[in-house]
Amino acid sequence: MEGAYDDRDGKIWLDGKLVEWRDAQVHVLTHALHYASSVFEGERAYNGKIFLGHEHSERLHFSAGELDFQIPFTADEIDAAKEAVLTANGFTNAYVRAVAWRGAGPDMGVASSRNPVRLAIAAWEWGNYYGDAKMKGAKLDIAKWKRPSPETIPVHAKAAGLYMICTMSKHAAEAKGCSDALFMDYRGYVAEATGANIFFVKDGEVHTPDADCFLNGLTRQTVIGMLKERQIKVHERHIMPEEMEGFEQCWLTGTAAEVTPVGQIGDYNFEVGAMTKEIAGAYEKLVRS
């Protein structure tokens, strides 16, 4: 499937029913468009099955609760809707996007408790998020923005507003010939990329930032479990930027990114080593099992 995302053939699930792709529209005075009252999930289907689909549906509900609204469909109903979208579009391998938001209604200020909560689910075929970097290793810029303190915003929600600095940072990175950007957090510790968590390897052990101020990704949790099953020690901890000089390998994890090796971050270089390749290969097998 190619072309602009608003001009394609297919079906999108919107507020309880499948509609034609081009008819899945919202009004310009939709609250989420003005005040970022929106949460979403990114998921992948492999061989007709969405990996951790129910966990994604539950997290969508959690994120909505963090933004003080309730989705008018249960997690099981969302699961069924996602399956309906895949079937209607004839997809077996696809990216699935569920998004819930405060729509247009009687309120058009910061407060919007009287406005309806809406839900849409779309799917499309999508290859490697980082293109050929999946094989040779991605190159990352270091973002000028920082991940915010939990005192300032609901940092563990997968909320649209949290991605504003991600868009700007990724644009800046791409302008420099990079695939993505790495954030530090508000304290100066290594945090995550714009849409993926990060892992490092040193002396046969793995180090990953403690997810205390950013999204603890489902892929991140899956990969940590895989490492522990292999008796590989995993350190979830605060990591200073200068520590990157001593790390040997690095990879990113995320539903879109899957497991993508990193070859360079700023002035720091990493090899696409045996552990990175093993985990990337094992993840590919797991999601298709």
Q: Are residues 119 and 143 in the same domain?
A: no
Determine the pLDDT at residue 3: 83
Determine the pLDDT at residue 132: 72
Q: Summarize pLDDT for 14-69 with one digit per residue, the tens.
A: 999 999 999 999 999 999 999 999 999 999 999 999 999 999 999 999 999 999 99
Q: Are residues 186 and 220 in the same domain?
A: yes
Contacts of 126-130 with C-beta under 8 Å, sequence gap 24+, read 126/94, 126/95, 126/256, 128/258, 128/260, 129/195, 129/254, 129/256, 129/257, 129/258, 129/260, 130/179, 130/180, 130/252, 130/257, 130/260
In a domain, 254, yes or no: yes
Q: Tell me, yes or no, if 49 is annotated catalytic.
A: no
Give the range of the structural domain holding residue 27, as residue numbers without chain letter: 11-124
Domain count, the chain: 2
Last residue in a domain, options 70, 91, 124: 124
In a domain, 15, yes or no: yes
Q: Are residues 44 and 90 in the same domain?
A: yes
Q: Are residues 108 and 193 in the same domain?
A: no
Q: With 60 as the cut, is the pLDDT of residue 264 above it?
A: yes
Q: Are residues 273 and 194 in the same domain?
A: yes
Q: Are residues 165 and 117 in the same domain?
A: no
Q: Are residues 189 and 225 in the same domain?
A: yes
In a domain, 262, yes or no: yes
Q: Are residues 30 and 110 in the same domain?
A: yes
In a domain, 281, yes or no: yes
Last residue in a domain, options 85, 105, 124: 124
Q: Are residues 193 and 155 in the same domain?
A: yes
151: CB partners within 8 A, 6+ apart: none
In a domain, 241, yes or no: yes
> Which CATH number characterizes residue 17's domain?
3.30.470.10
Q: Are residues 119 and 193 in the same domain?
A: no
Determine the pLDDT at residue 135: 72
Determine the pLDDT at residue 37: 97
pLDDT bin (cut points 50, 70, 90) of residue 1 is: low
Contact of 179 with 254, CB cutoff 8 Å: no
Q: Are residues 91 and 184 in the same domain?
A: no
Q: Are residues 228 and 271 in the same domain?
A: yes
Q: Quick one: average pLDDT of 112-132?
A: 91
> Which CATH number characterizes residue 168's domain?
3.20.10.10
Q: With 90 as the cut, is the pLDDT of residue 133 above it?
A: no
In a domain, 263, yes or no: yes
**DSSP class of residue 274?**
H
Last residue in a domain, options 78, 98, 124: 124
d(CA 2, CA 126): 10
Q: Summarize pLDDT for 144-200 with one digit per residue, the tens.
A: 999 999 999 999 999 999 999 999 999 999 999 999 999 999 999 999 999 999 999
Determine the pLDDT at residue 136: 82
In a domain, 93, yes or no: yes
The active-site residue, picked from 17, 158, 228, 277, is: 158
Q: Summarize pLDDT for 186-237 with one digit per residue, the tens.
A: 999 999 999 999 999 999 999 999 999 999 999 999 999 999 999 999 999 9
